[in-house]
Amino acid sequence: MDLLTFVLLVLIGLVAGLFSGLVGLGGGIIIIPALVFLLGVNQVTAQGTSLALMLPPIGLLAAINYYRSGAINITYAIIIASAFFIGGYFGSKVAVSLPETIVRRVFAAFMILMGIKMLFGGK
């Protein structure tokens, strides 16, 4: 794995962790599109990798099915999960200090932008 890929994986984990702590989203909304658009991972492997990094306590049985079909990148999952853990802490610190309206608007704006990107955007 090259340095750029490693840095991108850490950034994906940190951003997903920050948004998870800030507005309660991460895996499907941040990690999957980031793996697809930034690293060129196919959709199924991105979904499997996202599930694998969030195994305990969610997605274990689904991740086993993805693993058995060869659609999980274990290295990516471990690196992102580690950074996600740290990002979640800092995101939650910010979220609890902001007015609820701001947090709600950040969540809504991000959901809209990612929806548009997934619907109309390419790789």
What mean pLDDT comes out for the span 1-5? 96
Gap between the Cα atoms of 77 and 17, Å rounded: 13
Mean pLDDT of 93-109: 85
Selected residue with higher pLDDT from 27 and 96: 96
* pLDDT tens-digit series, residues 46-89: 888 887 888 665 667 778 888 999 999 999 999 998 998 899 89
Q: What domain range is 77 assigned to?
A: 3-120
**Which of 16, 30, 31, 115 has the alpha carbon at shortest distance from 73?**
31
Is the pLDDT at 2 greater than 80, yes or no? Answer: yes
Question: How many domains does the chain contain in total?
Answer: 1
Has residue 40 got a pLDDT over 90?
A: yes
